């Protein structure tokens, strides 16, 4: 009983410190805006109306959330297995282009065939792109941090060539492909918004990852390898196989994010459409300690921040880059929360044990 109570207390302390760090970062951000002459009430009102005042704005925030959650999971799954995946941007780009290629090149297919085919090919493209640095790491011990970052640039250059030359839309002013066929378009859930039925695909992907993590032998072996790979090998776990699978699964999730952007938001592949969301996903995975549930919470906070900044820029003149400042503060606060909590615990007066005189 005592041990169980101690574990529960540690979980509660961890949860409380996690959310306290995020709340402190948000309060600090509001304080910075106040020092710049922005009233806190106006800041909160502008942030709320920019995100929740209409179905359209809320839908766009959820659409942004879907991409962030998927790329964060794409980083978290390999991280959990002890292999780094910093290549979410490249995997998203390759997956998105692969889905677009199927979307605009195949004609005469019913939506029930065309959409799943495009999505599966997009996920396969992301998985293959992730498999390359995974193979180099597991076969030749090449540093996967370096190779995945390099693969991001290679993906940008490769897709840049493809959409500027062989697959550029006729007469297009930007580097983009032709529109995908109507049979490959994901249904828009809120008129004129970016939210599509990709929402349900993301929910399914999230539940699958959560199930794999908590209820299957794969999740157990990933956690063991991430904690102590030598112990895992001694216990009979095939570390190379499981890490390769984790990396490919991460790439498939990033490819799914790219496919949803192509089929549900832009209806074509646009060069650089994902921005640097892959690095955002890496940060969220680290903040959330690779926990799918916490990833959802942190990703929601980041999505709300990014959506709020759009309205705050037009209403209050707050630069959109301020959301990056808040996100950086959140990262610093969460990373240092254990040290801060330890310091608070030391300076807080401790109660004497019951029955101990003096």
User: In 10 A of CB 118, how many CB atoms?
Assistant: 28
**pLDDT by residue for the chain (358 residues), tens digit each?**
445 667 677 777 777 878 888 888 889 999 999 998 889 898 888 889 989 989 999 999 999 999 999 999 999 999 999 999 999 999 999 999 999 999 999 999 999 999 999 999 999 999 999 999 999 999 999 999 999 999 999 999 999 999 999 999 999 999 999 999 999 999 999 999 999 999 999 999 999 999 999 999 999 999 999 999 899 999 999 999 999 999 999 999 999 999 999 999 999 999 999 999 999 999 999 989 899 999 999 999 999 998 998 878 888 888 878 888 888 888 888 877 766 666 666 665 555 554 454 4
Structural domain includes residue 354: no
At 339 the pLDDT is 66
The boundaries of the domain holding residue 91 are: 64-287
User: How many alpha carbons fall within 13 Å on the CB side of residue 273?
Assistant: 32
Q: Residue 329 domain-assigned? A: no
- Tally of residues, the chain: 358
In this structure, is residue 26 part of a structural domain?
no
Gap between the Cα atoms of 123 and 248, Å rounded: 10
In a domain, 10, yes or no: no
In a domain, 39, yes or no: no
In the three-class reduction of DSSP (H, G, I as helix; E, B as strand; rest coil), residue 274 is classed as: coil
Could you tell me which residues are beta bridge partners of residue 196? 188
Q: Which two tokens stand for residue 194?
A: 């970016």
Within a domain: 316: no
| Res 174: pLDDT | 93
State the total domains in the chain. 1
Residue 338 confidence (pLDDT)? 63
What the block records as the tokens of 53 is 């005042």
pLDDT value, residue 312: 85
Residue 8 lies in a domain: no
What is the pLDDT, as a whole number, of residue 346? 60
Residues contacting 227, CB < 8 A, separation 6+ = none
CB of 133 closer than 8 Å to CB of 142: yes
User: What is the DSSP secondary structure assignment for residue 195, as one 8-state letter?
Assistant: -
Give the pLDDT confidence of 294-304 residue by residue, as tens digits: 999 999 999 99
pTM to 2 decimals?
0.91
345 inside domain: no
- Here the tokens at position 49 are 């109306």
Q: Around Cβ 332, how many Cβ atoms within 10 Å?
A: 13
Residue showing tokens 């640039």: 153
């Amino acid at each position: 009983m005592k041990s169980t109570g101690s574990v529960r207390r540690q979980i509660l302390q961890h949860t409380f410190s996690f959310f306290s760090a995020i709340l402190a970062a948000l309060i600090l951000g509001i304080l910075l805006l106040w020092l710049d002459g922005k009233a806190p009430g106006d800041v909160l009102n502008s942030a709320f109306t920019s995100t929740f005042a209409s179905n359209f704005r809320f839908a766009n925030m959820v659409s942004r959330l879907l991409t962030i959650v998927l790329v964060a999971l794409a980083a978290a799954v390999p991280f959990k297995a002890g292999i780094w995946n910093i290549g979410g941007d490249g995997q998203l780009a390759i997956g998105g282009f692969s889905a677009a290629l199927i979307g605009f090149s195949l004609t005469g297919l019913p939506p029930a065939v065309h959409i799943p085919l495009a999505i599966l090919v997009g996920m396969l493209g992301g998985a293959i792109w992730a498999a390359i640095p995974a193979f180099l790491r597991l076969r030749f011990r090449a540093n996967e941090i370096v190779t995945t970052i390099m693969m991001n640039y290679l993906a940008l250059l490769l897709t840049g060539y493809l959409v500027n030359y062989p697959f550029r839309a006729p007469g297009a002013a930007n580097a983009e492909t032709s529109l995908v066929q109507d049979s490959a378009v994901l249904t828009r859930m809120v008129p004129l918004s970016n939210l599509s039925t990709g929402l349900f695909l993301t929910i399914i992907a999230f539940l699958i990852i959560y199930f794999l993590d908590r209820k299957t032998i794969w999740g157990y072996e990933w956690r063991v390898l991430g904690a102590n790979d030598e112990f895992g090998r001694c216990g009979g776990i095939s570390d190379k196989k499981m890490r390769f699978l984790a990396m490919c699964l991460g790439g498939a999730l990033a490819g799914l994010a790219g496919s949803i952007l192509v089929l549900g938001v832009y209806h074509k592949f646009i060069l650089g459409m994902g921005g640097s969301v892959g690095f955002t996903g890496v940060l969220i995975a680290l903040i959330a300690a690779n926990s799918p549930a916490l990833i959802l919470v942190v990703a929601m906070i980041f999505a709300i921040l990014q959506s709020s900044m759009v309205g705050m820029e037009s209403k209050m003149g707050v630069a959109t880059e301020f959301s990056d400042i808040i996100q950086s503060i959140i990262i610093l606060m969460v990373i240092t929360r254990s040290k801060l909590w330890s310091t608070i615990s030391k300076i807080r007066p401790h109660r004497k044990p019951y029955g101990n005189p003096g």
